[in-house]
Amino acid sequence: MKLKDIISNHNLEFENGGTDKNSTHSYIEHFYEGAFEKYRTRKVSVLEIGISQGFSFRLWKEYFQNAKLIVGIDNRPEAVHPRNKEIEGVTYHFGDAYTQEMVKKLPKFDIIIDDGCHQTDYQVRAIELYLPLLKKDGIYVIEDIQHEYPKYTKFPDPYKMLSESVPENYNHSFYDLRHIRNRQDDSLMVIRHDK
């Protein structure tokens, strides 16, 4: 089953309070469907920084049905929707995601998604902290790269700043989807540990 079908079948649409990954953003159809296909039936471990209401975790649980581990990190336990507080096979850690103390609690992951703070300097910090947890042949995705929103970015070129934070032994690329929904933050960075 495709991610978009899971969203529809499990009432995870953004207009119903669900995930924004396929509504205000274009990530499901234009990236995740293809990128995650090879991991779908594997015994993967998945980390997402940023839980918010938790609907993405319901989506990942349904999609990665053989997952060994699905973990979320956030500093706001009160934001989690009652429907998503306890999802079998999903573990939440609450606290500051941008500290070594949090990272020390965690194993390595096949998939890491940064949907946390959305500020470029925090996204750089997350790369420094979490990229060492990415397994060989793994994928690290940064969502919602800010281009024109002063509240979140003070940097003229977030792509340059993020690129400079990736070690040479990793491949990285950007998916600029801003033209699809006319959103200045509809943009992804993808880091692969396949060298």
pLDDT in tens, 56-67: 999 999 999 999
> Which pLDDT does position 152 carry in this prediction?
54
The residue-averaged pLDDT of 168-193 equals: 90
pLDDT in tens, 69-109: 999 999 999 999 999 999 999 999 999 999 999 999 999 99
Please state, in angstroms and as integers, the Cα–Cα distance from residue 108 to each residue in 49, 104, 142, 183, following that order.
Answer: 14, 11, 17, 33
> Which pLDDT does position 54 carry in this prediction?
93
> What span, in angstroms and rounded, lies between the C-alpha atoms of 57 and 127?
21
Architecture of domain 3-193: 3-Layer(aba) Sandwich (3.40)
Indicate the residue type of 171. Answer: N
Q: What is the pTM of this model?
A: 0.93
**Sheet hosting strand 187-193, strand order edge to edge:** 90-94, 69-74, 45-49, 109-114, 134-142, 187-193, 171-176
2 pLDDT above the threshold of 70? yes
> Which pLDDT does position 141 carry in this prediction?
98
The residue-averaged pLDDT of 8-23 equals: 81
For the chain, what are the domain ranges?
A: 3-193
